[in-house]
């Protein structure tokens, strides 16, 4: 039986070219597509991006859209996979930061895991919110005005955050729930 929970929904997965924690891309991707959504890989550059298993290079993935040309309004949800280098490169890309800020401010669901929280910090959207992340980012969250907590998944309005790959089942489930609650147009 096919799950149609997210039928007709478009989900953007925003990444940089290198350093993506592969499982934090592929596991949510599979979860949203199993739920009936269309997933699109949005990156800072065209071509392909490289996943990593922590520090070891893994698979390559084709980019569907470049963030500088992508319209956040065209998507129902945004997933920000982790990876130390990915998170660092994304927060340094002005177009990616604008995309993240626009998405969060729109009220549509945004899911960020591990080091992807850096993009939320850089977009200045964690102030007054409860957030979790990889533990080494707790000072960044606090300095940006957020409240850091150590839980597998935290939902604060439209933000879903998690700490690490072990949290993916809860992360995916909560994100899918939020997207499914969006009004149909």
In 51-134, which residue ranges form alpha helices assigned H by DSSP? 84-91, 94-106, 117-122
Give the pLDDT mean for 72-80.
Answer: 97
Distance in angstroms between the alpha carbons of the first and the last residue of the chain: 25
| HSE of 166, CA atoms in CB hemisphere, 13 A | 5
Name the architecture of domain 10-180.
Answer: 3-Layer(aba) Sandwich (3.40)
> Which pLDDT value is given to residue 103?
95
pLDDT tens track for 169-182? 999 999 999 999 99
Name the strand (E) or helix (H) holding 176: helix 168-180
In the set 114, 125, 137, 159, the catalytic residue is 114
Give the pLDDT mean for 128-155.
Answer: 98
> Which pLDDT value is given to residue 155?
98
Which residues have CB under 8 Å from 178's CB, separation 6+? 77, 109, 155, 158, 160
> Which pLDDT value is given to residue 142?
98
pTM for this entry: 0.97
Closest among 151, 172, 150, 158 to 125, alpha carbons compared? 158
CA dist 57 and 81 (Å) reads: 16
For residue 17, is pLDDT > 90? no
Would residue 103 show up in a list of annotated catalytic residues for this protein? no
For residue 70, is pLDDT > 60? yes
Give the pLDDT mean for 37-62.
Answer: 95
What tokens were used for 109?
């669901």
């Amino acid at each position: 039986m096919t799950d149609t929970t997210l039928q007709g929904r478009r989900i953007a997965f925003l990444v940089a070219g290198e350093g993506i924690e592969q499982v934090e891309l592929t596991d949510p991707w599979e979860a949203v597509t199993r739920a009936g959504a269309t997933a699109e890989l949005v990156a800072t550059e065209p071509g392909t991006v490289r996943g990593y298993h922590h520090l070891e290079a893994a698979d390559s993935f084709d980019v569907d859209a470049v963030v500088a040309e992508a319209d956040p309004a065209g998507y129902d949800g945004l997933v920000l996979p982790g990876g130390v280098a990915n998170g660092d490169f994304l927060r340094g890309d002005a177009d990616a930061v604008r995309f993240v800020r626009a998405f969060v401010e729109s009220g549509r669901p945004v899911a960020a895991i591990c080091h992807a929280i850096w993009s939320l910090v850089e977009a200045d959207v964690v102030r007054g919110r409860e957030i979790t992340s990889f533990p080494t980012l707790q000072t960044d969250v606090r300095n940006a005005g957020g409240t850091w907590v150590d839980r597998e998944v935290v939902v604060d309005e439209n933000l879903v955050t998690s700490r690490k790959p072990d949290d993916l089942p809860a992360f995916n489930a909560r994100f899918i729930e939020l997207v499914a609650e969006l009004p149909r147009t």
